[in-house]
């Protein structure tokens, strides 16, 4: 399966030329919306300012990665206390239901396992791996669409990617 099978609007975490695909941007937004509603009492960034205000909005600088790792650990503990049915699709419009393709989970599953990437991996596990890699490489981490990833134009005029997709992927 080649890179061309991915939707160019697929979002993922990007650091040090490594891209960790997550899936559609609305799934990423739902993850952060659920943090805001369930763990921050509807106060976006009130409890987890580095994840919510930096990673989500503008990306993390390398100096903030350690704090983001600590905040994510608290999110995982918090999410483990909620059933997957507590997922929030959009914190700004709570009337929006979770789309069926994301809502079909065993009811006993907790939120920390409920957000699943396009490869079937819990989103929190992927984010933990991306953050630890960024820490090891002394790099920042951002959320980037596939179409916005860096490319390099060779002297012959051909364009090649300037990143590696972490861990393989499948069609969404």
Q: What pLDDT is stored for residue 6 in this prediction?
A: 76
Q: What pLDDT is stored for residue 109 in this prediction?
A: 85
Helix axes 65-79, 123-137, angle to 10 degrees: 160
Per-residue pLDDT for the chain (172 aa), expressed as one digit of tens each?
344 467 888 999 999 788 999 999 999 999 999 999 999 999 999 999 999 999 999 899 999 999 999 999 999 999 999 999 899 999 999 899 888 877 766 767 899 999 999 888 999 999 999 999 999 999 999 999 988 887 656 566 554 455 667 654 433 3
Number of Cα atoms under 13 Å in the Cβ half of residue 118: 24
The whole-model pTM stands at 0.86
Domain ranges of the chain: 3-165
Q: What pLDDT is stored for residue 153 in this prediction?
A: 60
Q: Which of 30, 35, 27 is nearest to 51 (CA)?
A: 35
């Amino acid at each position: 399966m080649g890179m061309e099978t991915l939707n160019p609007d697929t979002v993922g975490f990007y650091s040090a030329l490594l891209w960790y695909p997550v899936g559609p941007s609305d799934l990423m937004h739902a993850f952060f919306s659920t943090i805001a509603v369930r763990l921050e009492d509807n106060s976006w960034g009130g409890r987890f300012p580095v994840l919510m205000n930096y990673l989500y909005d503008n990306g993390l600088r390398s100096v903030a990665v350690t704090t983001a790792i600590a905040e994510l650990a608290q999110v995982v503990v918090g999410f483990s206390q909620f059933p997957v049915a507590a997922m929030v699709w959009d914190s700004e419009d709570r009337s929006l239901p979770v789309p069926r393709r994301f809502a079909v989970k065993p009811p006993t599953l907790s939120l920390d396992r409920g957000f699943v990437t396009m490869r079937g991996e819990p989103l929190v596990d992927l984010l933990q791996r991306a953050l630890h890699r960024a820490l090891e490489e002394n790099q920042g981490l951002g959320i980037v669409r596939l179409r916005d990833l860096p490319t390099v134009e060779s002297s012959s005029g051909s364009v090649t990617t300037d990143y590696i997709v972490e861990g393989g992927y499948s069609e969404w």
